[in-house]
Amino acid sequence: MSDQNQLITYAFVALIVGAAVGYLAAGPITYNQKIQDLQNQLAEGGETELTGSLSIAGSTTVLPIAQECANLFMEQHLKVDVSVAGGGSGAGVKSAGSGEVDIGEASRNIKASELLSYPDLVAFSVAKDSVAIIVNPENSLSGRLDLTLEQVSEIFSGEITNWNEIGGPDHEIEVYTREEGSGTREVFVDYAMDGKEFAANAGVKPSNGEMRAAVASNQYALAYVSFGYIDDTVSAASINGVEAVVEKVNNGQYPITRILWMFTKGMPYPLEAAFIEYVQSPEGQAVVEDLGYIPIY
């Protein structure tokens, strides 16, 4: 009997002490306080905290932008998880259209046939880009290689096959191209191939990164990549006397230009919208510029 009484007393005391400690620790919470907090948040322009996860896939050209923006976005929104994958423009359209991923990316415009399959795709432009022809820095023409668009089509279609035909050493031009369906390939075909087919012996590489690696390791190689993939390991050729640099694309002198896209299935959900807005914001566009692409404004 007395044991049970003691137990009840202890429990009661513990409850009071616990409540007191809890109250002191948490501070007095009232509805007024909460309303005040919300008002403050609104005044700062803050929104309710973003949570959830986003999956992004598609073009390897857009991949570095999405990846870097995702990292910064996750730093700002700790409860958001963004996963970014490659796969290619075709896969980007397909997987966004079928709802496999939240946001798809493409480095070319949507095709009519794709819009027929996925009529509810909504597209957002996130950057501009161009395609550069690259050679190995050790190639004797590196830094001064200047081709006309006609020469470009002749080289990639196999009509010009030796470097000495364009002022270089007597050696085969080892041409690389992207796989069928690549956005970069389609843009290159539209602007530079003049209706010709790629040479049968052109080596096929399945990403921008592998195109760059092929050129970086072989002084007789010639390939084309997105501007975002130009770095010290390769040297970009001029076309029609115009250097392959962002300024010349912007002022319309460099002959190749394209828009990079992100897609959602239907109107974007708040989290998707927040991410795409972030990529389009001045902060996101600074990333675009940093990575060697061209901001949309």
Partner 1 sequence: MRTGDVVSKILFLCASLSAVIVFLITAFLLREGIKVLTPGFLLGLTWSPHRGLFGIFPTIVGTLCVVAGAVVIATAIGIPSAIFLSEFSPFWVRNIIKSSVEVIVGIPSVVIGFFGLTVLVPFIRNQVGGRGESILAGWIVLAFMILPNLITIAEDSLRAVPRSYREASLALGATKWQTVRNVVLPSASSGIRAALVLGVGRAMGETMAVLMVVGNPETPWIPTGVLDRVRMLTSTIAIEFSYAEWGSTHQHALFAIGVVLFFMVTVLNFIATFVIRRKNIQ
Residue 292 as a binder of partner 1 (CB under 8 A): the answer is: no
Q: Which of residues 173-202 bind partner 1 (CB under 8 A)?
A: 174, 177, 179-182, 197-202
Q: Does 204 bind partner 1 (CB under 8 A)?
A: yes
| Cβ 210 to partner 1 shortest distance, Å | 9
* Token couple for 129: 């880009």
Candidates 75-83, 112-120, 270-278, 279-287; binding stretch for partner 1 (CB under 8 A): 112-120
203 or 295: CB nearest partner 1: 203
Q: Least CB distance from residue 172 to partner 1, whole Å? A: 8
**Residue 110 or 296 with smaller CB distance to partner 1:** 110
Q: Say how many C-beta atoms besides its own lie within 10 A of residue 116's C-beta.
A: 8
Q: Output 80 or 234, the one with its CB closest to partner 1.
A: 234
Residue 208 within binding range of partner 1, rule CB under 8 A: no
Least CB distance from residue 180 to partner 1, whole Å?
5
Query: Quick one: 102 or 174, whose CB is closer to partner 1?
Result: 174
Applying CB under 8 A, the site for partner 1 has a residue count of 30
Q: Does 115 bind partner 1 (CB under 8 A)?
A: no
Residue 88 touching partner 1 (CB under 8 A) = yes
Residue numbers at the binding site for partner 1 (CB under 8 A): 87-91, 94, 98, 111, 113-114, 117, 174, 177, 179-182, 197-206, 213, 217-218
